[in-house]
Amino acid sequence: MEIEKEELLPMAKAFQAVTGYRPHSGTLARWAIIGSKTVKLETRWVGSRRMTSVEAVRRFQEARNVAAGNAKSESRAESRNSSKRRADRAAQELRRQGM
């Protein structure tokens, strides 16, 4: 893991350095423990505090964007296929009714 070689900061400070805002502490804990969109934020315990790095935040954001982009692309493709099937069924029904 690359985080072993990086400068560690409190999670909120690392996010603020990258994004300009501080997510809620519960959100940060969830991203570190459970993850988001199948991606976990890399963290290390330092004493009693969970820490991360600016680089780890950037990797996390990039991985989340990739995961979200793939999920959206798949659902768009499924939606297009679903629309095409509905249109085909409607056309068949119209032909069956002689229209």
AA letter at 98: G
- Phi-psi label, residue 6: left if phi above 0, alpha if psi -120 to 50, beta otherwise: beta
| Region 24-45 average pLDDT | 95
So what's the pLDDT on residue 40?
96
pLDDT at 11 over 90: yes
So what's the pLDDT on residue 67?
84
So what's the pLDDT on residue 23?
95
Number of domains composing the chain: 1
For the record, the structure tokens of 99 come out as 């229209």
pTM higher than 0.75: no
CB atoms within 10 A of CB 51: 20
pLDDT digits (tens, 9 = 90+) for 43-80: 999 999 999 999 999 999 999 988 887 655 445 555 66
So what's the pLDDT on residue 95?
86
Residue 14, classed as helix, strand or coil, is helix
| Region 23-27 average pLDDT | 96
Supply the range of the domain harboring residue 26.
Answer: 2-96
For the record, the structure tokens of 8 come out as 């560690």
